[in-house]
Amino acid sequence: MTARQAAYEVVLRVFEEDAYADRVLRSAAKNLDSRDHALAQRLAFGTVQRVRTLDHAIGQLGKRPVRKLDPPVRAALRLGAYQLGYTEVAQHAAVNETVELVRRARLERAVPFTNAVMRRLSEGIRGLLDALPEDTAEAAALKHSYPDWIAELWWAGLGPEQALALMRAQNEPAERVVRLNRRKSGHVEGRPDADLPDALHVERIDEEALRAGLIWPQSRGSQLAGLVVGAKPGERTLDLCAAPGGKATQLQGEVVAVELHPGRARELQENCRLLGADNVTVVNADATKLPPELSGFDRVLVDAPCSGLGVLAARPDLRWRARPLPELQQELLRVAAERVKPGGTIVYSVCTMDPDENEAVVDASGLQIEPLGEEWPQFRHPNRPEFLLTQPHVHRTAGFFIARLRT
């Protein structure tokens, strides 16, 4: 398995089988060395992110709609077009390897067509991409490869300049940041963050330190949400949607971490063990149907399921499957209000850039807002200073909305 073959497997399965890019990559690239693994991830994730624009280029220059191509040919051409349009890979290597992928798929009859399209792409794709306009939401969605609804949401809410900056930022590789696990001691190379005490910027993820539980890969936006909870020794905190456990294992005191899906609950349990978070008790349950004894908590964290529009850089296929979940988010806040003791606090966080899932959900909850802007001025929400909002195009981290509330 080469890097390009692994990337091809990811692209094929994401769009033909609705698979998740990170899971396919984990399997397809498991035997690659670190350099080839990094190349496979770059090519696969970049192709998945840019697929709308790539399909436009293939259709224009190849003179045949992408939807009419055989799936292996479609996947190979998408991967080849990405290399030609967005990387510095040598043109002849991109062309030859793309043709070879189709040949390996036993589609010899499609080899001449694939070769011809790749030749046309090698001559014309850069000019075609450069000429795409971005003066409307719809045009920007095509140029930067987003569904129309996401581009329109940001265009209307942020204005054209900020929307374009956000689109560009989430087509770049996600920040490489880990959280130092203070429960264990050991040296880890990296640059400390200026704002968050346990965040470390690294050149690469130290797999040995990860296996030892010294670090946990976690964006600064996510770490900020865990810090805002403010859990202290002697307190009880309920984390309603806890897997994979990044925030739960940040918290001090007694923590009850709830996860609906059995497989993810097992993963959460294992991650707590790895990080030495023996203060965390994992409960495999539906957060909206908890047993009555789980109540009277000092703090509740609602890190709710959402459209994920703040983490599109790290999750390349999410933009094609994302959907807002305000009703579920409102229900989870209602549960939190029932389970927190009088005077306790609720932290609501979502990794999205959608006001309907952010401030609108909090406003609809009827809960009292505790202002956060003065406590964390560098992350103050630009329109609602009582909230926090990390913005990928401003803070170069995942987009997180964070509110702290009381009943």
Q: pLDDT tens for residues 215-228?
A: 999 999 999 999 99
Q: How far apart are CA 9 and CA 70, in angstroms?
A: 15
pTM for this prediction: 0.95
Catalytic residues: 351
For the stretch 2-52, pLDDT in tens is 999 999 999 999 999 999 999 999 999 999 998 999 999 999 999 999 999
Exposure b/e, 92-124, CB count within 10 A at least 16 = b:
eebbebbbbbbeebebeebeebbeebbebbbee
For the stretch 34-46, pLDDT in tens is 899 999 999 999 9
Domain map (residue ranges) of the chain? 3-132, 134-169, 219-406
Other beta carbons less than 10 A from residue 155's beta carbon: 21
CATH class given for the domain over 3-132: mainly alpha
343: three-class secondary structure by DSSP: strand
pLDDT of 197 reads 96
Element (H, E) at 341: strand 340-350
Classify residue 229 by burial, with Cβ atoms within 10 Å: 0-12, 13-18, 19+.
Answer: buried
Classify residue 358 by burial, with Cβ atoms within 10 Å: 0-12, 13-18, 19+.
Answer: buried
pLDDT of 396 reads 97
Stretch 49-56: mean pLDDT: 98
Q: How far apart are CA 49 and CA 145, in angstroms?
A: 7
Q: How far apart are CA 306 and CA 354, in angstroms?
A: 9
User: One fold for both 3-132 and 219-406?
Assistant: no
Using a pLDDT cut of 90, give the percent of the chain over it.
Answer: 98
Give the side-chain half-sphere CA count within 13 A for 326.
13
345, β-bridge pairs: 299, 406
Topology of domain 219-406 in CATH is Rossmann fold (3.40.50)
Residue position matching structure tokens 């094929």:
12
Of 185, 189, 181, the C-alpha closest to 205 is 189
Query: β-strands 340-350, 400-406: how paired?
Result: antiparallel
Other beta carbons less than 10 A from residue 127's beta carbon: 8
* Token pair listed for 183: 């429960």
Confidence of residue 376 (pLDDT cuts 50, 70, 90): very high
pLDDT of 248 reads 97
pLDDT of 11 reads 98
Stretch 185-214: mean pLDDT: 95
My answer on whether omega of the bond before 385 falls inside 30° of 0, hence cis, is no
Q: How far apart are CA 288 and CA 291, in angstroms?
A: 10
